[in-house]
Amino acid sequence: MSKLTDPVEKLGLEARGYIDTRVDDLKLQAAKGLSEGTTALAGLVLIVVVLSALALVLSFAGVLLLGELLGSYAKAAFIVAGVLFLLLVVLILLRNKLFRNSFVRLYTGILSPEEAEATPIRTQKQLDAALARSKNRIRKREEAVRARVESTRSFYSPKNMLISAVRSDILPLFVRLVAGRRRRKK
């Protein structure tokens, strides 16, 4: 690196670090969005399947089996409906634990395998924490890039370029001229 290109090269390194940090953040956001979307879809499919099973069982098998045992088909229908309704409620309440965390692990492993090995993200809470850390890293990188841009801008300002030229080119030339004249006078 030369003295003249040093600020630009440092700016390039800061920009590269910023871009890498933004890409990591986008991967985490994609994992979060995909896990939430897939969880919602899987939960909906599960609810539809359970509701379908609930309707079928209420209509046929449960009523017929329990109706004969209890002597009343109406009581049998209510018992079967109650059991399936409780199952549906349990599935709805546990859908995040059953599905979302599995999808979080899956998507973070797919989108950023090197990060998944270093600090595995297994739950939605860990994913949210990783996103918060990523946002903080991005903010710091943005500040570093802004500072580097300002430093580069001031380094290449006309005033500094003139001073730099005087120091590096004109001043040594002037010193040699003065020294040469002194030698001649002696």
Q: Is the pLDDT of residue 1 over 60?
A: no
183: containing domain: 158-186
Measuring CA to CA, how many Å separate 39 from each of 11, 43, 126, 147, 158?
42, 6, 16, 42, 58
pLDDT at 2 over 70: no
Rounded mean pLDDT of 69-75?
88
In the prediction, which pLDDT does 89 show?
Answer: 92
Residues 102, 138 share a domain: yes
pLDDT of residue 128: 83
- Is 79 a residue whose pLDDT tops 80? yes
Cα 91 vs. chain centroid, distance in angstroms?
A: 29
Measured in residues, the chain has a length of 186
Mean pLDDT of the chain, nearest integer = 78
Residues 6+ apart with CB under 8 A from 134: 21, 24, 25, 28
Q: What is the pLDDT of residues 104-153, one digit of tens each?
A: 766 666 666 566 556 677 777 888 888 888 888 888 888 888 888 888 77
> Quick one: 162 and 148 in the same domain?
no
Distance of CA 49 to the CA centre of its chain: 33
Q: What is the model's pTM?
A: 0.49
Judge whether 82 lies within some domain.
yes
Distances in Å between the Cα of 34 and the Cα atoms of 38, 59, 154 are 6, 37, 44
Q: What does the pLDDT look like over 6-16, one tens digit per residue?
A: 777 888 888 88
Measured between alpha carbons, how far is 99 from 42 in angstroms, rounded to an integer? 8
Place of tokens 């109706």: 67
Specify if 177 maps to a domain.
yes
Domain count, the chain: 2
Residue 35, pLDDT > 70, answer yes
Contact 111, 24 (CB under 8 A): no
10 part of a folded domain:
yes
Asked whether residue 103 is domain-assigned, the answer is yes
Q: Are residues 145 and 179 in the same domain?
A: no
Q: Do 72 and 60 share a structural domain?
A: yes
Q: Do both 149 and 169 map to the same domain?
A: no
In a domain, 1, yes or no: no
